[in-house]
């Protein structure tokens, strides 16, 4: 998909300057000199063509009292789809991905207590029968903000 200048400006705005107001799409439309419906149509098109993979707020979970951990499991290749589906059923699992490594399924858990995290991990072990699960809580926290500034050319 070729991005026109309005798409580029819209992408720049929604990355870091999304208005936190009752009618954010109307405000974006005013900044771009287009209609609110056109803003929504353009965003829908950008999502359907995978220019935008995710559209939503990003919260500082630690400030909200949540704790996250990275986990890894050794899963037999023939069980990867089954185990992945099971893991993905947990609301507290925020990411889940396959790696080419002896620990081949990696996922993150985000809960409001270490006890809840431990309960989820024990439940996954019990349901899967796989005891080889690493729990790797962060010792230091790093957050990298990536913003793709799109010029009009």
Helical residues (DSSP H) of the chain, grouped into ranges: 5-16, 24-32, 36-48, 80-88, 114-128
pLDDT tens, N- to C-terminus, the chain (153 residues): 689 999 999 999 998 889 999 999 999 999 999 999 999 999 999 999 989 988 887 777 888 888 889 999 999 999 999 999 999 999 999 889 999 999 999 999 999 998 999 999 999 999 999 999 999 988 877 776 667 777 755
Element (H, E) at 67: strand 67-73
Token output for 9:
């400006």
- pTM greater than 0.85 (yes/no): no
């Amino acid at each position: 998909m070729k991005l026109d200048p309005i798409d580029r400006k819209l992408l720049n705005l929604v990355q870091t300057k999304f208005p936190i107001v009752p009618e954010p799409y109307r405000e974006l439309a005013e900044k771009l000199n287009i209609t609110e419906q056109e803003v929504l149509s353009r965003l829908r098109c950008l999502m359907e063509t995978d220019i935008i993979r995710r559209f939503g707020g990003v919260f500082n979970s630690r400030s909200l009292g949540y704790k996250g951990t990275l986990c890894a499991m050794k899963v037999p290749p023939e069980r990867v789809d089954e185990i992945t589906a099971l893991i993905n059923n947990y609301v507290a699992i925020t990411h889940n991905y396959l790696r080419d490594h002896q620990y081949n399924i990696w996922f993150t858990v985000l809960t409001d207590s270490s006890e809840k995290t431990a309960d989820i991990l024990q439940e996954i072990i019990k349901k899967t029968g796989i005891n080889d699960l690493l729990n790797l809580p962060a010792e230091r926290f790093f957050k990298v903000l990536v913003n793709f500034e799109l010029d009009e050319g």
